[in-house]
């Protein structure tokens, strides 16, 4: 859960950085992160859109690695 939380925090920081840049024609009203298995963390970390298909339709036969890159470097500086 802590690795997921770190990623969500970084995404929120990235969203805030983009907003602060005042880039012409770029709006960052939404922050889509999280799925059925980590929706509580996503909400706490600022998600405005969450994918909850599994919670509604049930588990599919895809491995977690299909959705999540386990080698993602969460130490990246933003």
**Would you say 7 and 72 are in contact if contact means Cβ atoms under 8 Å apart?**
yes
Is 76 inside any structural domain? no
Residue 30 lies in a domain: yes
Look at the chain and report how many structural domains it folds into: 1
Asked if residue 10 is part of any domain, the answer here is: yes
Lookup: tokens for 21: 């840049």
22-32, pLDDT tens digit by residue?
999 999 999 99
35 pairs with which residues across the strands? Answer: 51
Q: Does 59 map to a domain?
A: yes
Q: Is residue 36 part of a domain?
A: yes
* Residue 61 is assigned to a structural domain of this protein: yes
8-66 per-position pLDDT tens digit:
999 999 999 999 999 999 999 999 999 999 999 999 999 999 999 888 888 877 777 77
- What is the residue range of 47's domain? 2-65
Quick check: is 33 in a domain?
yes
For the chain, counts of helices (H) and of strands (E): 3, 2
73 within a domain of the structure (yes/no) = no
């Amino acid at each position: 859960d802590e690795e997921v939380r770190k990623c969500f925090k970084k995404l929120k920081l990235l969203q805030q950085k983009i907003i602060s840049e005042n880039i012409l024609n770029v709006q960052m009203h939404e922050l889509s992160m999280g799925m059925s298995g980590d929706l509580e963390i996503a909400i706490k970390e600022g998600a405005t859109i969450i994918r909850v298909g599994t919670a509604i339709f049930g588990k599919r036969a895809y491995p977690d690695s299909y959705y999540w890159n386990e080698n993602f470097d969460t130490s990246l500086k933003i």
